[in-house]
A and B are shown apart, each in its own frame.
Chain A
Amino acid sequence: NAGVTQTPKFRVLKTGQSMTLLCAQDMNHEYMYWYRQDPGMGLRLIHYSVGEGTTAKGEVPDGYNVSRLKKQNFLLGLESAAPSQTSVYFCASSYGQLSNYGYTFGSGTRLTVV
């Protein structure tokens, strides 16, 4: 009963490096989301997907790209990391727009950009 799995759990990057965060869900959910969480600012939506092959911008999309090639996976990419992207990143999934059960979250990736 894995739910939502994020890899890696921790990562340190140098400014300008690139990386991909992987999110995998085994609940057959249609919707998937990437959030970042910063102290005092709560969870902010980066990008989301309403189904396989679709992506859309959220509140803070600049500097990030995403792909949803398979229904169960949602990838978040940083092409050229900046210190402002130091944050904790959470992936979430949901069955539909009006899910009574809200979102299921992963355990997060703590990213530090130096």
Chain B
Amino acid sequence: EDQVTQSPEALRLQEGESSSLNCSYTVSGLRGLFWYRQDPGKGPEFLFTLYSAGEEKEKERLKATLTKKESFLHITAPKPEDSATYLCAVRGYSSASKIIFGSGTRLSIRP
């Protein structure tokens, strides 16, 4: 069964303090790993799709990387507006029509 585990559950950083969020996954043949951002009271917003180990994607202060067992979302010199919950999700060959979400990491950036 496809499974996604995110850590830590919550992370508080000072503005400018870089860090990484982890997404460990178990899937029967990865067809895509997704990162989303969710602000309070809103739906998730798509950030990245990664398909194969070694792949990297960047957007502003965020960089997502992928290995065969996990993905990292690196946040460089974060700002308070980066505060949000970050969700990881995977699509495997056994669940090609749908993706499975992790429970997310709640990120808070203090000014």
Check A45–B43 contact: CB distance below 8 A: no
- Mask, A34-65, CB within 8 Å of B = 1, is 01000011111100101000001010000000
- Mask, A92-106, CB within 8 Å of B = 1, is 100001101111111
Check B97–A101 contact: CB distance below 8 A: no
List A residues 58-114 near B (Cβ within 8 Å). 58, 90, 92, 97-98, 100-108
Give chain B residues whose Cβ lies under 8 Å from the Cβ of A50.
97
Check A97–B97 contact: CB distance below 8 A: yes
Check B104–A42 contact: CB distance below 8 A: yes
B36 and chain A: residue at smallest CB distance: A102
Task: Report, as a range, how many residues of chain A touch the other chain.
Answer: 20 to 34
Task: Report, as a range, how many residues of chain B touch the other chain.
Answer: 20 to 34
Check A106–B31 contact: CB distance below 8 A: no
Check A42–B34 contact: CB distance below 8 A: no
Give the shortest distance, in Å, between B7 (CB) and chain A (any CB): 13
Contact pick for B46, options A33, A90, A98, A103, CB 8 Å: A103
Contact pick for B98, options A33, A40, A105, A106, CB 8 Å: A33
A108 and chain B: residue at smallest CB distance: B43
Give the shortest distance, in Å, between A7 (CB) and chain B (any CB): 14
Given contacts A106-B43, A108-B43, contact A101 B49 (CB under 8 A): yes
Give chain B residues whose Cβ lies under 8 Å from the Cβ of A4.
43
Give Cα distance in the complex from A22 to B93, angstroms.
Answer: 30
Check B97–A98 contact: CB distance below 8 A: no
Check A40–B103 contact: CB distance below 8 A: yes
Query: B29 within 8 Å of A by Cβ?
Result: no
Give chain B residues whose Cβ lies under 8 Å from the Cβ of A42.
87, 101-104
Give chain B residues whose Cβ lies under 8 Å from the Cβ of A41.
103
Give the shortest distance, in Å, between A76 (CB) and chain B (any CB): 15
A48 and chain B: residue at smallest CB distance: B98
Please name 11 pairs of A and B residues whose Cβ atoms are closer than 8 Å in the assembled complex, sorted by A: A33-B98, A35-B101, A42-B87, A42-B102, A42-B103, A43-B89, A45-B100, A56-B97, A97-B97, A108-B42, A108-B43
